[in-house]
Amino acid sequence: MSALPNAGPRPAAPPALLDELRTLLGDRLSTSAAVREQHGRDESYHAMMPPDAVAFATTTEEVSAIVSACRRHRTPVIPFGTGTALEGGVAALTGGISIDLSTHMTGVLRVSTEDLDCTVQAGVTRKALNEHLRDTGLFFPIDPGADASIGGMAATRASGTNAVRYGTMRENVLGLTVVLADGRVIRTGGRARKSAAGYDLTRLFVGSEGTLGVITEVTVRLYGVPERIAAAVCAFPSVKAAVDTVIQTIQSGVPVARIELLDEVQIDACNRFSKLGLPVEPHLFLEFHGTEAGVAEQSEMVGALAAENGGTGFQWAARAEERNRLWEARHNVYYAGLALRPGARIWATDVCVPISRLADCIVETKADVMEAGVLAPIVGHVGDGNFHLTIVLDPDDPAEMARAEAINARLVERALAMGGTCTGEHGVGTGKIWAVEREHGEAVDVMRTLKAALDPDGLMNPGKVLRMG
Amino acid sequence: MSALPNAGPRPAAPPALLDELRTLLGDRLSTSAAVREQHGRDESYHAMMPPDAVAFATTTEEVSAIVSACRRHRTPVIPFGTGTALEGGVAALTGGISIDLSTHMTGVLRVSTEDLDCTVQAGVTRKALNEHLRDTGLFFPIDPGADASIGGMAATRASGTNAVRYGTMRENVLGLTVVLADGRVIRTGGRARKSAAGYDLTRLFVGSEGTLGVITEVTVRLYGVPERIAAAVCAFPSVKAAVDTVIQTIQSGVPVARIELLDEVQIDACNRFSKLGLPVEPHLFLEFHGTEAGVAEQSEMVGALAAENGGTGFQWAARAEERNRLWEARHNVYYAGLALRPGARIWATDVCVPISRLADCIVETKADVMEAGVLAPIVGHVGDGNFHLTIVLDPDDPAEMARAEAINARLVERALAMGGTCTGEHGVGTGKIWAVEREHGEAVDVMRTLKAALDPDGLMNPGKVLRMG
């Protein structure tokens, strides 16, 4: 299931195309092995499949010219952001040209402090955007952990720790500039906060992972930096006690900004990697945003729920440095997992279930992991019902891969049976095509119809999201 | 522009199709003139175009059978909810079968108080759903004024007074059951709060106005009834002063639940129709949701902003009856407008602009209305940047229609020049096809490609949303 389902014959890109692109881009076209390899894999266990060349684009018009040239030469196009994805979405399964959007397309084109929105080139990363916004009193909340590009986050419908309060890229992208498979450039959406003006093309391209077009510019919502931010950690006697606290928090409507679960295995890894010094027990990491009074009220309500569930050692991190240290550790769970076993890679699962089923889903999954004897810390955006096993493994060991594959398959089936989804935020890439088919059944045919209509030659990031014919 | 752009020859539905549908539905197929006429127009000025027959469906399977039969006989299908739309979306431009979803498909299929969601048949109205939820402590906030069906609201991407806080149907639909043009039934989305599992078909069908398929079931988010609700009205010396208060409220991040503008013309109409007894000045109608402390804090902040802008006579309506009277009056603005001139109809405009441009947009539009000497109260969901002129007119008077058309055209151009949209929530129907083309340019071709792919025979609510070749 992790293999390359659509990997057919793999012709090299025609020399005439490379000549054409070299004329267009000069030394911004690279065919060096190191560059191609860097663009042929993401941070996951998925195999590296280098493109034939990497085109470092500077403008939407240039992306359009590259896509048009590729189309004339019937050569695949694979958009590339920061390469921090987890489902093999950038692998050049059948060769082709990787369009790197994050090296030169890093301009913040417009910020409106009055309208709380901005437009950026696709390669601006979330940290770079927030750095740019530093003196405006505004921030961009979507935070998948990695310092991903805004274009890549839109393409994969990313979310992360703040989504429980601020939503995902689905809710926060207002409009896009997209280069279509035939090289045409369209603008979708706009700057109005709502619109009923025709089909929602913005939401169609958000999450399409480069298979319908290349996102080159993104307009996103911004938010005022809260008057008050307070973070806290709390230990629990069991994962179930922690998750029950989350469920009750969500059901009470407390507008918590972040509520993250780290199980005892994950805490142990974080203690080693990030020197946290926390007791090796399941923890919630929390953050509250609001006015002074609002944050006080929220934290009191959640503190009471935690206490009822046996939570202990509620520690506050009100100062920015303490908060940053906490979230830095949270963001580094991936690398903390990797550090548990030098040379290993991570297979990250990503189910998301209705909140009422979350405790059952995690408890059953944890039992399954124990039974299989696999090293797999659990971390999760549990306010959304979303959690990850980060299975630490050697991708070259077939037995380890088979165990991980079996755990993932059982987890997906468990989540689907509970009314959930196979991927809350990591996307489909090559790794979850089978799971999307399980989840959406007949509706996948409709997705194929849309793909065929917008990319009739099948050249836009082929072999991702859907199995075509 | 208000005419019927795609109205071609209008063959009657084949007798063989009517026989087939009568066999399927018995007396739930109606060809009576009264029923056909009732299903051939909405509440707007748009001309009545009756379907050849009305099919009162009871289940998704029956809708599928009806659509399949229509396809075999190459006869158009027009979904019908409550007929409360405003852009001519239910007119049978080229004849066909109206599928009435609101008479029998009124079942609430499932409510999860734990997960704050529910699934309903398309014909359940928003008031019926909230009545059903009464003892659960939950409510469904989307409120377009009319007691529209949830299916119709999904199909038109409706929003209304609460959208500034709770979002629109775009944000609140989790999943759909849809009958496609070929009769296949698909389920889109799911119950997880977020998902990255393939293309966002849910958002594609939300707002597609029956042109891509028939929505038969809808899963929506629910919310806990706030601990405290407080409403208020406040008069302002000018529309600009009122709108400036709104802009500052939104920019300050106050999570106001409703913030509605009624200009002095609208207040006068409401005083007459709903016996409000308010001074004939521009007003804001406000509502705050939250904890006791939260509502106190929000209302204090907005009260201070209103006072700075010259707001006077801040009146609180904390008791449920007072609040209901206020919002009942707000919801009846449409009928209050109609009552100003017996026998008239309403042409409702619907632009939505970035909030920083809202005062300019309204002030310029009001000057235009004065100049044209047209009766057109202004009411708006101003927290979203969305407002309506409700132009009171005689649709049989070509001079009045021409004046309204010109005002609307200038308003749309003004909103687009400000980065806004031609329709915030009413949708496209037949009335805004030209405006969507102005707004989205080349992207409309992509919408046509999607339509052609999913409805190759062009039988799903033809002539709406898009001009198809």
B233 and B264, same structural domain?
Answer: yes
**Nearest-CB residue to B192 (from A200, A206, A420):** A420
Arithmetic mean of pLDDT, B72-86:
97
**Gap between the Cα atoms of A166 and A383, Å rounded:** 12
Domain boundary among B340, B364, B397: B340
Q: What is the pLDDT of residue B7?
A: 41
The answer to whether position B55 is within a domain reads yes
The tokens for A336 are 């903390």
Residue B31's φ and ψ, nearest 5 degrees, are -120, 15
Instruction: Nearest chain B residue to A168 by CA: give it.
Output: B194
Tell me the nearest-neighbour CA distance from B116 into chain A, angstroms.
Answer: 7
- Asked if A437 is an interface residue toward chain B (Cβ–Cβ < 8 A), one would say no
Instruction: Nearest chain A residue to B384 by CA: give it.
Output: A193
Count of structural domains within chain A: 2
CATH code for the domain in which residue A162 is found: 3.30.465.10
A394 and A332, same structural domain?
Answer: yes
The answer to whether position B4 is within a domain reads no
Pairing of strands A312-317, B29-30: unpaired
* Chain B from 331 to 360: CB within 8 A of any A CB: 350, 352-356
**Residues of chain A under the 50 pLDDT cut:** 1-9
Do A450 and A109 form a contact (C-beta atoms < 8 A)? no
Q: Do A297 and B293 touch (CB under 8 A)?
A: yes
The answer to whether position B273 is within a domain reads yes
Mean pLDDT of chain B, nearest integer: 95
Q: What is the pLDDT of residue A402?
A: 96
Domain boundary among A224, A259, A276: A224
Q: Which of chain B's residues have a Cβ under 8 Å away from the Cβ of A157?
A: 194-196, 200
Pick the more confident residue, A373 or B469: A373
A396 and A263, same structural domain?
Answer: yes
**Gap between the Cα atoms of B446 and B297, Å rounded:** 47
Tell me the nearest-neighbour CA distance from A392 into chain B, angstroms.
Answer: 23
The answer to whether position B190 is within a domain reads yes
A234 and A200, same structural domain?
Answer: no
A292 and A185, same structural domain?
Answer: no
Do A300 and A232 form a contact (C-beta atoms < 8 A)? no
Give the H/E segment covering residue B268.
Answer: helix B264-274
**Gap between the Cα atoms of A346 and A338, Å rounded:** 7
Do A177 and B441 form a contact (C-beta atoms < 8 A)? no
Nearest to residue A168, comparing CAs of A421, A360, A338?
Answer: A421
Tell me the nearest-neighbour CA distance from B420 into chain A, angstroms.
Answer: 5
* Chain B from 88 to 127: CB within 8 A of any A CB: 112, 114-117
Residue B11's pLDDT band (boundaries 50, 70, 90)?
A: low
- Asked if B186 is an interface residue toward chain A (Cβ–Cβ < 8 A), one would say yes
Q: What is the pLDDT of residue B8?
A: 45
* DSSP one-letter string for A259-278: EEEE-HHHHHHHHHHH----
Q: What is the pLDDT of residue A319?
A: 84
Q: What is the pLDDT of residue B2?
A: 37
Q: What is the pLDDT of residue B10?
A: 60
A296 and A167, same structural domain?
Answer: no
Do B109 and B119 form a contact (C-beta atoms < 8 A)? yes
Give the H/E segment covering residue B128.
Answer: helix B126-132
**Gap between the Cα atoms of B269 and B19, Å rounded:** 49
3-state secondary structure of B300: helix
Determine whether B75 is exposed, middle or buried from the number of CB atoms within 10 Å of its CB (0-12, 13-18, 19+).
buried
Residue B155's φ and ψ, nearest 5 degrees, are -65, -30
Mutate to test the interface with B, among A446, A450, A465, A467 (most CBs of B within 10 A): A446
CATH code for the domain in which residue A234 is found: 3.40.462.10
A262 and A201, same structural domain?
Answer: no
Instruction: Nearest chain B residue to A446 by CA: give it.
Output: B454
Do B92 and B48 form a contact (C-beta atoms < 8 A)? no
**Nearest-CB residue to A171 (from B156, B171, B190):** B171
Q: Do B114 and A454 touch (CB under 8 A)?
A: no
Nearest to residue A383, comparing CAs of A288, A281, A308?
Answer: A288
- Asked if A277 is an interface residue toward chain B (Cβ–Cβ < 8 A), one would say no
Do B375 and B324 form a contact (C-beta atoms < 8 A)? no
* DSSP one-letter string for A129-187: HHHHTTTTTEE-----SS--BHHHHHHTT---TTHHHH--HHHHEEEEEEEETTS-EEE
Q: Do B435 and A197 touch (CB under 8 A)?
A: yes
- Asked if ipTM goes beyond 0.90, one says yes
Mutate to test the interface with A, among B153, B170, B193 (most CBs of A within 10 A): B193
**Gap between the Cα atoms of A82 and A100, Å rounded:** 9
**Nearest-CB residue to A193 (from B204, B385, B465):** B385
B84 and B52, same structural domain?
Answer: yes
Q: Do B444 and A204 touch (CB under 8 A)?
A: no
**Tokens 């006869």 -> residue:** B75
- Asked if B182 is an interface residue toward chain A (Cβ–Cβ < 8 A), one would say no
**Nearest-CB residue to B200 (from A116, A194, A204):** A204
The answer to whether position A139 is within a domain reads yes
At how many degrees (to 10) do helices B433-440 and B398-417 cross? 20
CB pairs under 8 A between A and B: 276
Q: Do B352 and A117 touch (CB under 8 A)?
A: no
At how many degrees (to 10) do helices A443-454 and A433-440 cross? 120
Mutate to test the interface with A, among B446, B448, B461 (most CBs of A within 10 A): B446
For residue B26, count other CB atoms closer than 10 A to its CB. 9
Do A349 and A389 form a contact (C-beta atoms < 8 A)? yes
* DSSP one-letter string for B179-247: EETTS-EEEEE-SSS---SS--HHHHHTTSTTSSEEEEEEEEE-EEPPSEEEEEEEE-SSHHHHHHHHH
A313 and A180, same structural domain?
Answer: no
A387 and A254, same structural domain?
Answer: yes
- Asked if B183 is an interface residue toward chain A (Cβ–Cβ < 8 A), one would say no
- Asked if B427 is an interface residue toward chain A (Cβ–Cβ < 8 A), one would say yes
Percentage of residues in chain A with pLDDT exceeding 70?
98
The answer to whether position B8 is within a domain reads no
pTM (whole model) above 0.90:
yes
The answer to whether position B402 is within a domain reads yes
CA–CA distances in Å: residue A269 to residues A143, A218, A328, A332: 21, 36, 14, 10
Q: What is the pLDDT of residue B314?
A: 82
**Gap between the Cα atoms of B451 and B181, Å rounded:** 10
Arithmetic mean of pLDDT, B147-164:
97
Residue B6's pLDDT band (boundaries 50, 70, 90)?
A: very low
Do B3 and B406 form a contact (C-beta atoms < 8 A)? no
The tokens for A431 are 């790794």
Instruction: Nearest chain B residue to A194 by CA: give it.
Output: B424
The answer to whether position A316 is within a domain reads yes
A159-189 confidence digits (pLDDT tens) = 999 999 999 999 999 999 999 999 999 999 9
For chain B, the first-to-last Cα distance in angstroms comes to 17
A350 and A278, same structural domain?
Answer: yes
3-state secondary structure of B385: coil
Beta bridge partners of A259: A286
Q: Which of chain A's residues have a Cβ under 8 Å away from the Cβ of B435?
A: 197
Beta bridge partners of B258: B287
Q: Do B446 and A158 touch (CB under 8 A)?
A: no
Name every residue whose Cβ is closer than 8 Å to that of residue B47 and which is 6 or more positions away in sequence.
Answer: B4, B41, B88, B91, B395
Tell me the nearest-neighbour CA distance from B350 into chain A, angstroms.
Answer: 10
Domain boundary among B193, B224, B255: B224
A196 and A147, same structural domain?
Answer: yes
- Asked if B156 is an interface residue toward chain A (Cβ–Cβ < 8 A), one would say yes
Tell me the nearest-neighbour CA distance from A355 into chain B, angstroms.
Answer: 6
Tell me the nearest-neighbour CA distance from B22 into chain A, angstroms.
Answer: 29
Q: Which of chain A's residues have a Cβ under 8 Å away from the Cβ of B353?
A: 192
**Gap between the Cα atoms of B69 and B20, Å rounded:** 8
Arithmetic mean of pLDDT, B234-249:
96
Arithmetic mean of pLDDT, B200-223:
98
**Gap between the Cα atoms of A109 and A426, Å rounded:** 27
Give Dmax over CA atoms of chain B in angstroms: 69
Do B311 and B282 form a contact (C-beta atoms < 8 A)? no
Nearest to residue A197, comparing CAs of B396, B405, B352?
Answer: B352
Do B100 and B91 form a contact (C-beta atoms < 8 A)? no
Domain assignment of residue B289, given as a range:
226-340
